Structure 1
């Protein structure tokens, strides 16, 4: 199959550059959008962009645009952007939500490693592609001495600080070059600087994503391993907190309290006794053993007993009762009704 300098096949298929540009527009919309990544419209856009980037990758392979025997300087300027394809596919793959997470990170890892290795082969960067730990358990680190571990931590920290500074400089440079790329008469040198800077920026992002994948994988493997196991036995649930109980005199007062305080249970004396019998606190028995005299009836009986006793004392001419009544009459003569009310004072 023949090809021209722009990477376009001679048949009637869609040009590679147009497919790549359309996919990049979708990619920028996804990256800069404010809608949630797991929403249906965003997921649809992600899948559409992945499909376009995959199509572009297949066309790059068929056209044979890259070779290990070439250097970065030998590649045409327009071809440099296609080195980004694995990194773009890895970034979009991590945003998928409809598949198993472990499968997603496995595919994304392949993309990022392929991208870093290709950039190293072409001399874009000299970073070593990090190798995955054995089964995610850090077998190598366990056999290292304490001094070797400390040295590794120091080197890792210094590398992170260095990459952070480089990342900031690359962002600033990209911002300037992006504005220059919008010009109609942009020259080839500016395009080449822009694509090279974009590649270096994605090198750092790919390293960060691989580090995150290495941390996430053991968690996913552990969850997958223990997914079918029964949950461990938990302690007995705590009993519900106690609630206050208002003992009312009769059913009428219970209705009033029930309406005024619906969250506080109210019951009559009989209902309270029945509840305690059911709980085994009070002795049980038939209904004849349950006291049916409410507090209101008990108060009424007490008043009637006092009246009967007073009447008996009056009939028997009890001296103490007669003296009490005489003193009360004299008190009433000296203290007229209403004197204690301040509204009746002159």
Structure 2
């Protein structure tokens, strides 16, 4: 069994809890999702959930050889990470919508697959429309009207069943949430709560995948007829990352996601250090939890990036002045202390 009692457990818990607070604020907030404040909160929450995902891998919390019963109770909610990242990515604005739903789809499929691997659910993960088209064309058997009607009926029945299940799960979650508020909640209650929460997100993930499939042809139509607004400047495409524990897992997941960039924990951490998201290991241990001041710096960086994306004249002028200052004042030139 994977060792969850590692030195990473405490910082992982804090990072995850901080991210969940932001997630709940976003989900329950009244402000418009496309507002600057909410978008900055969404990006900050995504960043923290990515850090939590990295720490999960570093701590070796999960193993593909385990079943759900073998997982410690306090690690069950970490299975939610791909679903939470998928939910947040769907809320991003200012990015090409086609890229946004592509990333979210990968996260939701990864979440469903992991839940199947651990026996949380036995639900059939729906195929993407393009996969069905490829399968149909390779078989050279045209789909008849009867086949289409049968598929529609099956889909409708599945939606009705899922709707009823979701209603029952929410009622059960409401009861379990109250039980979890008690300081004397036992292990059985906690496992029941987290398992129910996972099943609830399984249904949400299925609904989101269905909505994504319905949105794809609309986006395709809009792109052909100039309906989707073009960004004012070139925006770097979103890139999802499935975190793996080692090179072997990287190869395994790479087979399941051939179009998805995968990387080991070390590769992921090095990449984040280069981007400035994580501190350098030479200065600060990567297990160190960033303080609230660091969180403010991160939010401030996101705000600056937002201003640049929106072609803010004042921000551009500030950066231009800083560049000119650096050109005329090289680092260390002003320090003459103890020099001849």
Kept in 2: contact 1:102–1:220 (CA 8 A): yes
CA drift of 1:204 comes to: 0.4
**CA distance in structure 1 between the aligned counterparts of 2:121 and 2:3, rounded to whole angstroms:** 29
CA drift of 1:96 comes to: 0.6
Equivalence for 2:285: none
Equivalence for 1:166: 165
CA drift of 1:220 comes to: 1.6
**CA distance in structure 1 between the aligned counterparts of 2:124 and 2:131, rounded to whole angstroms:** 20
Equivalence for 1:122: 118
Equivalence for 1:206: 205
Deviations 1:226-283 (A, max 9, x none): 439xxxxxxxxxxxxxxxxxxxxxxxxxxxxxxxxxxxxxxxxxxxxxxxxxxxxxxx
Equivalence for 1:25: 21
User: Aligned to 2:64, what secondary structure does the other structure show?
Assistant: coil
Per the alignment, do residues 170 and 138 of structure 1 end up closer, same or farther by CA in structure 2, a change over 3 Å counting?
farther
**CA distance in structure 2 between the aligned counterparts of 1:27 and 1:220, rounded to whole angstroms:** 27
CA drift of 1:218 comes to: 1.9
Q: Which of structures 1 and 2 has the bigger CA Rg?
A: 1
Query: What are structure 2's unaligned runs of at least 5 residues?
Result: 228-340
Equivalence for 1:287: none
TM-score by length of 1: 0.61
Per the alignment, do residues 165 and 50 of structure 1 end up closer, same or farther by CA in structure 2, a change over 3 Å counting?
same
Which one of 69, 73, 98 corresponds to residue 73 of structure 1? 69
**CA distance in structure 1 between the aligned counterparts of 2:3 and 2:60, rounded to whole angstroms:** 12
**CA distance in structure 2 between the aligned counterparts of 1:136 and 1:124, rounded to whole angstroms:** 26
CA drift of 1:136 comes to: 8.9
Superposed, 1:263-278 pairs within 5 Å as none
CA drift of 1:59 comes to: 1.0
CA drift of 1:4 comes to: 6.6
Equivalence for 1:195: 194
Query: What are structure 1's unaligned runs of at least 5 residues?
Result: 229-346
CA drift of 1:201 comes to: 0.3
Equivalence for 1:261: none
Equivalence for 1:223: 222
**Pair 1:46-2:42 in alignment:** yes
Which one of 75, 79, 83 corresponds to residue 83 of structure 1? 79
Q: Which has the higher contact order (CA 8 A, sep 6+)?
A: 2
CA drift of 1:147 comes to: 2.2
Aligned length: 223
CA drift of 1:135 comes to: 7.7
Which one of 74, 87, 99 corresponds to residue 103 of structure 1? 99
Superposed, 1:146-157 pairs within 5 Å as 146-157=145-156
Equivalence for 2:130: 134
**CA distance in structure 2 between the aligned counterparts of 1:146 and 1:8, rounded to whole angstroms:** 59
